[in-house]
Amino acid sequence: MARRNKILVPEAREELDKLKARVMKEQGYDVNLNNPEDVKYEIADELSIPLKKGYNGKLTAEQAGKIGGPIGGSMVKEMIRMAQEQMMKK
């Protein structure tokens, strides 16, 4: 599946994937460290959302948000925590 989301610094993709894997693993999900994107299928399955590899144009925006929200939200919370920790050290 092609990635459509663009990050500001493409070289950061690998580290963002590592962060995603670590954060979702801490939340109890079974994460393949070589392909952390697969965690979205586990979340979709838990929520009974019919996400499959390839085209998912029949999913509603609400369904897609229920899958991606917990992932992105958890990553943002962790990045904020890390930034606050760094600020406390200075």
* Identity of residue 5: N
CA angle 32–82–47, rounded 5-degree value: 40
Q: Averaged over 26-31, what is the pLDDT?
A: 90
The pLDDT > 70 percentage for the chain reads 94
The confidence score (pLDDT) of residue 5 equals 65
Q: Averaged over 21-36, what is the pLDDT?
A: 89
The confidence score (pLDDT) of residue 6 equals 74
What are the φ/ψ torsions at residue 24 (nearest 5 degrees)?
A: -70, -30
Is this model's pTM higher than 0.85 or not? no
* Domain boundaries along the sequence of the chain: 10-89
Q: Averaged over 6-26, what is the pLDDT?
A: 89
CA-based radius of gyration for the chain = 14
